[in-house]
Structure 1
């Protein structure tokens, strides 16, 4: 099924032949957040040509990584149990890539699904387990997320809801998560705008979500 054949017999080679084609892992990343319609996948990956998206979905289905899931009158794409085994791989790859992440180019965007996975990557469950349960509302570029942390459990969803602390920022979220930008300094310089709640809860957020650059 793979368009690329490396001519080697190994697990890494087989994995790359299954999910190593361009866009494949980004499709998987977004489906790790939840099932998506074709149009939702296309909207979350605005630069993917429609023929490539269709081809990747077909290839990933053939590999047993995703499946079509009819729901009422719509078709959703979702990960199979085999596909969900890629979650720790995607999170580890995100943490590795974060080390080389610089400032965004003008044309680069933040999507709700990409930010959700970035937050899962940065989540520190051991630290969170020692902190009070907290709900955050985060406006991150074009993504509005409701982030609930309860002990070592993390839930991230789109939209709004009751929160203890709400804030807005953009690409500076990277500097916060890496520790390059201290929470107090972020607020003082306007890199982070406090929308609701006590400003010191930003310190709790940064303790809960951290990745070393």
Structure 2
């Protein structure tokens, strides 16, 4: 049973009944990156109350959007094929919301999962197809992303791997992706900290991942 009934009958109404409750779409966002344990979902959404997370997971399961996937001795939550159909909707919403982003507030953070979806949203396959294949490592807080760009193909996953260029950043990275901040200036101001490789590769990254604000 859905948590809210708008009393109207159309696809948008039904969609909102399924994923319009607070936190629901952010849970879907994180699961688009990969299956997660309950504790991993809670850690990636540090402000979500435990009872709300449990309720949202039950609602999304009942709607056939996610499922529990036992793996050895642990339980993972993952998207069903029906749930994965939300990916282009989530990416389009992210691109739309990006246009209204302002400077981050002091208490705001980015997580590896949220940034993974942001990078999928900002990926420019036509540009990437003209550039050499490149592997990037990105650190956000305590977590890391392994980003592989091979022509027009993008793979983003949590974790580490052999990279051509690695960097650390935070919420300010949106200024680089929007083009507001030039790559060299992003390094000079500390928005991006180079951890490995030539800082020149940040220009390639900025060309590959770009969204106009």
- State the match for 1:101 in structure 2: 101
Cα displacement string for residues 89-146 of structure 1 (whole angstroms, at most 9, x for unaligned residues): 0011111111111122222111111111111111111111111100111123443211
How far apart in 2 are the matches of 1:174 and 1:12? 29
Helix, strand or coil at the partner of 1:67: strand
Judge conservation of contact 1:132–1:151 (CA < 8 Å) in 2. yes
1:192 to partner: Cα distance: 2.1
Name the count of aligned residue pairs: 213
For residue 4 of structure 2, what is the aligned residue in structure 1? Answer: 4
* Shift, 1:168, TM fit: 2.1
TM-score, L = length of structure 1: 0.96
Q: Summarize the Cα distance change of 1:177–1:9 in structure 2 as closer, same or farther, 3 Å threshold.
A: same
Match of 2:20 in 1: 20
Equivalent residues in 2 for 1:34-113, closer than 5 Å: 34-113=34-113
Structure 2 match to 1:128: 128
The yes-or-no answer on 1:161 pairing with 2:175 is no
Greater alpha carbon shift after TM alignment, 193-202 vs 51-60: 193-202
The alpha carbon displacement at 1:188 in A equals 2.9
* C-alpha distance after superposition, 1:7-63 (max 9, x if no partner): 111000000011111110001001101111111111111111111111111111111
Query: Hey, what does 1:30 align to over in structure 2?
Result: 30
**Matches of 1:109 and 1:143 in 2, distance apart?**
12
Q: Structure 2: give runs of 5+ residues left out of the alignment.
A: none
TM-score, normalised via structure 2 length: 0.96
CA distance in 1 between partners of 2:68 and 2:7 (Å)? 30
Aligned partner of 2:139 in structure 1 is 139
Deviation of 1:160 (Å): 2.4
Q: Which moved more, 1:137-146 or 1:123-132?
A: 137-146
